[in-house]
Amino acid sequence: MATDYIVIGSGSAGAIIARRLADSGATVTLFEAGRRDNTRLVRKPGMIGPLHSVPQLKKMVDWGHYTVEQKHALGRTIPQTHGKVIGGSSSVNGMVFVRGNRRNFDDWAAEGNTGWSYDDVLPSFKKFESFEDGANQFRGDAGPIKVIRARDLTPASESFMQALTETTGAARNLDYNGAEQEGVSLFQQSNSNGLRSSTAVGYLDDRPKNLTVLPNTQVVRILIENGRATGVEYRTDHGTEVLRADREVILSAGTFGSPHLLMLSGIGPADHLRAFDIDVAADLPVGDNLHDHLFVPMSFAMPTAVNRSSPGYFARAFVRESLRNNSTWLARSVFEVVSFLRTPYSTGIPDLQLHVLPWGYPGPNQDAPIRHVPDPRRSLTILVTMIYPQSRGTLRLTSPDPTASPAIDPNYLAEQQDIDTLAHGMELTREVMSAKSIADVVDTEISPGPQYPARADLAAEIPNRATTVYHPVGTCRMGVDDRAVVDPTLRVRGIEGLRVADASIMPSIVGGNTNAATMMIGEHAAALILG
């Protein structure tokens, strides 16, 4: 059997690539190891809370990956959520919509990645979005991904915005994805009318007949013949089968899945592959350059936060939402406010992001695979987020068995500046929560708590409290030097007919949540492939 194109992974980039190639008239087969997304668990926006907090639910749509022991984080093994479902991580993320800072893409281009400057990628951003304000110089209004602002804010979130401006001077920013990122804003979200706007919803629900989607089907190897990718081996209930690609194979399995499959197929660090008796097709630095955003949660008891993190409160909203769609907080993401700020370590653009949600949050971390119970009081939680990590890690094989999880080592907090940035953000958050406009409605700091009064105390707690925002990137780095796995057209170096297109190709992480940039990579890759 053969098809024009094979796309591996139906996530934030892969679903887009598959649909755009099919729209050109080509036959496309899209492989997805996970289940279909036709469940309220992923399609109802507010289900993000139980999805991530109830292990029995999470394992239905998640790979269940953990890091190796993190030597700079008290030896913790930290969960790494990675969507195993049609739509990939766009079906399980928090739906917050952040493109990044325009300088991120200009920096990519400055490293030799021609065609990836901000001006180059802006049309790809605009192509996939339908922004509630309509089209302008920066935004699109005709794409399949719906983008709205948070609405019906809790009084606690409103107070936080005022207090942040009072404390830092940061201005209200109507559109941080527009001309300027810095400031405090309502969070933009990829959902609309009570429905998550994943790439599955936007690109696959109404797919043409020449696009075949194969859920619950895991690719185990890319076939390489005479230096060219010719197809894939995949597993079904009937055993291992082969599908040939007449044109190209596009790998969009994510920052963990793409390097893992490349190495299983003989593309990666030669010595590492030989240690597993894998024949080397291309000696490339696959799995290097792994990096990720980290946050530390800070929770404050505030009656004006309205929501209660309890099963009963959730159940009542679920019943109301079932009776009348788009009538409760379950119709939207749980995040309400965001700010982008500069710390003393900034290089001229915001390097600190504050995610604000009016809910309690478990502490000190959520490493154990159990249902974590947050403080029951109404609370405002600020996720103090370091945007530009200095630490770098690796992804490596643990076995030639394609069902074995890879060794994920982000090497969190290896660089002191990462700790310093988070500690500064925690101090700043305390200042904001002590401002006149908010102090009277803050009962107490729940987490970390007043038992950690000084900056040194906060910094000492970071290795125990910092956790991933689930934004890993970089393991199939795009570039023009020996550190690159793919070139600026996303072709794997030394292998014909094979490209990688997902967050793994980012040379450096973008300034904010990575989903929107990954969708842009999908649109941009499709345009490159179609010429």
β-pairing, 294-301 vs 267-268, is unpaired
> In whole angstroms, what is the distance from residue 203 CA to residue 201 CA?
6
The DSSP secondary structure of 398-433, one letter per residue, reads S-S-TTSPPEEE--TT-SHHHHHHHHHHHHHHHHHH
For 380, the enclosing helix (H) or strand (E) is strand 379-386
Is 260 strand, coil or helix? helix
Decide if 224 contacts 266 (C-beta within 8 A).
Answer: yes
Is 70 strand, coil or helix? strand
> For residue 244, what are the β-bridge partners?
2, 231
512 Cβ contact partners less than 8 Å away, ≥ 6 residues apart: 98, 99, 100, 101, 181, 340, 353, 387
For 220, the enclosing helix (H) or strand (E) is strand 218-225
Question: Is 291 a known active-site residue?
Answer: no
Decide if 337 contacts 157 (C-beta within 8 A).
Answer: yes
> In whole angstroms, what is the distance from residue 180 CA to residue 95 CA?
21
What's the DSSP call for residue 162? H
| Sign of CA pseudo-dihedral 277, 283, 285, 286 | negative
CA distances from 465 to 274, 308, 425 (A): 38, 22, 14
Q: Which of 52, 82, 355, 471 is catalytic?
A: 471
> In whole angstroms, what is the distance from residue 191 CA to residue 333 CA?
8
The DSSP secondary structure of 330-366, one letter per residue, reads GGS-S--EEEEE--TT-SSS--EEEEEESS----S--
Q: Catalytic residue positions?
A: 471
